[in-house]
């Protein structure tokens, strides 16, 4: 056990056996062998089950051990299936799967199939994290933990855990940390929050399709068309729409006839990394429109329209 962990981590660890842990009920002390493990300066508890059990039991036991001891608890499992592995990753439960994988999120490292690697530093914000930050701003989220955010965004808790990891890695000061727990905190007004997160934001545009003919689909407006929908700005002679990568395939956008960019198209389809519906789904959200057009704000009419849109629909 110790040799396997050290061989994966490529460093020395301290593993001290315990007869039992003070404060734990008999059913936990009786069903596990416990070790105090010191690794990269962090002490945690290694719990080795004496018998195989269901995932639901491991989940409850691991949480209970952490609650009583106040320390991180890592499950050491000799036999585990991939379904259980995926669920534990999704729920952020630390584990060591003997000879296969080590997952200890509190150390900020993922060790898999004997290949150790640190979670990469984030040089560019992901679209899911950007969508999270914008949604939190619009909906005035506060004191929002991983579980609550996952439910609101209809994604897995593991996805939001990655979002929080990315926010922490990029040092965006919007998380409140209390031990292992992390929560999104609303610091100030919407304008205050925007000033903090804007330097990390990027254009959501992935690709544009200049179609020869307009489409009959009920699509959200984007770009200049979206700005025109939320200001007094006059639209171009053609519509600009937003779609996701999934919709590009579903609606076969890439297979439709296109024209060169210097020609006037029937419409423009913008493939975006995320879409946040606004105004009953008629248009994408205002701040994403700003991010799409901010390089064009030197044109006075666009700059004025953006200010008008943000004042009415955001601030």
Q: Are residues 75 and 135 in the same domain?
A: no
pLDDT of amino acid 120:
47
Residue ending a domain, among 178, 200, 222, is 200
Q: Are residues 78 and 151 in the same domain?
A: no
d(CA 81, CA 74): 17
The CATH number linked to 136 is 1.10.10.10
Is residue 92 within 8 A of residue 105, CB to CB? The reply is yes
Q: Are residues 113 and 138 in the same domain?
A: no
Q: Are residues 49 and 111 in the same domain?
A: yes
pLDDT tens-digit series, residues 100-154: 888 887 776 555 544 444 444 666 889 999 999 999 999 999 999 999 999 999 8
The residues, ordered by sequence, that sit 6+ positions from 203 with a Cβ below 8 Å of its Cβ are: 291, 292, 294
Q: Are residues 218 and 137 in the same domain?
A: no
Q: How far does CA 283 lie from the centroid of its chain? A: 23
Q: Are residues 113 and 18 in the same domain?
A: yes
Residue ending a domain, among 118, 152, 173, is 118
Q: Are residues 37 and 106 in the same domain?
A: yes
HEC letters along 268-304: EEEEECCCCEECCCCEECHHHHHHHHHHHCCCHHHHH
Q: Are residues 138 and 112 in the same domain?
A: no
Is residue 114 within 8 A of residue 97, CB to CB? The reply is no
pLDDT by residue for the chain (315 residues), tens only, comes to 788 878 777 778 889 998 888 889 998 999 999 999 988 778 899 999 998 888 989 999 999 998 898 888 999 998 888 888 888 887 888 899 888 888 887 776 555 544 444 444 666 889 999 999 999 999 999 999 999 999 999 888 888 888 888 888 888 888 887 766 788 988 889 999 999 899 999 999 999 999 999 887 788 999 999 999 999 889 988 999 999 888 888 888 888 899 998 899 999 999 999 999 998 889 999 999 999 998 765 678 888 999 999 999 998
Is residue 241 within 8 A of residue 226, CB to CB? The reply is no
Q: Are residues 211 and 193 in the same domain?
A: no
pTM: 0.61
Q: Are residues 174 and 113 in the same domain?
A: no
Q: DSSP letter string over 62-116?
A: HHHHHHHH-S-EEEEESS--HHHHHHHHHHT--EEETTTEEEEGGGTEEEETTEE
pLDDT of amino acid 109:
55
Domain that holds residue 133: 127-200
Number of domains making up the chain: 3
Residue ending a domain, among 200, 230, 249, is 200
Q: Are residues 233 and 143 in the same domain?
A: no
pLDDT of amino acid 119:
47
pLDDT of amino acid 111:
52
Q: Are residues 195 and 229 in the same domain?
A: no
**For residue 29, which phi and psi values (nearest 5 degrees)?**
-60, -30
């Amino acid at each position: 056990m110790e040799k396997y962990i050290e061989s994966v981590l490529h460093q020395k660890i301290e593993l001290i056996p315990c007869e039992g842990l003070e404060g734990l009920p008999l059913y936990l002390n009786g069903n596990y062998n416990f070790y105090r493990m010191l690794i990269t300066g962090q002490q945690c508890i290694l719990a080795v089950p004496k018998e195989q059990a269901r995932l639901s039991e491991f989940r409850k036991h691991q949480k209970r051990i952490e609650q009583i001891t106040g320390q991180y608890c890592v499950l050491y499992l000799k036999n585990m299936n991939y379904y259980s592995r995926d669920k534990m990753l999704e729920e952020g439960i630390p584990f060591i799967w003997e000879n296969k994988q080590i997952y200890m999120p509190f150390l900020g490292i993922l060790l898999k199939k004997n290949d150790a690697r640190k979670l990469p530093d984030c040089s560019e914000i992901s679209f899911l994290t950007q969508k999270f930050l914008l949604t939190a701003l619009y909906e005035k989220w506060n004191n929002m933990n991983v579980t609550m955010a996952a439910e609101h965004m209809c994604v897995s808790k593991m996805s939001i855990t990655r979002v929080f990891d990315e926010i922490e890695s990029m040092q965006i000061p919007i998380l409140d940390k209390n031990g292992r727990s992390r929560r999104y905190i609303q610091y100030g007004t919407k304008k205050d929050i925007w000033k903090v997160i804007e330097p990390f934001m990027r254009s959501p545009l992935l690709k544009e399709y200049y179609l020869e003919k307009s489409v009959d689909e009920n699509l959200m407006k984007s770009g200049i068309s979206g700005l025109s929908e939320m200001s007094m700005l006059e639209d171009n002679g053609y519509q600009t729409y937003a779609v996701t990568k999934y919709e590009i395939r579903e609606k076969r956008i890439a297979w439709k006839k296109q024209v060169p960019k210097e020609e006037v198209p029937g419409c423009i389809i913008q493939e975006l990394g995320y879409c946040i519906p606004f105004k009953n789904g008629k248009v994408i959200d205002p701040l994403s429109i700003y991010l799409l057009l901010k390089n064009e704000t030197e044109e006075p009419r666009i700059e004025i329209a953006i200010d008008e849109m943000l004042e009415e629909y955001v601030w």
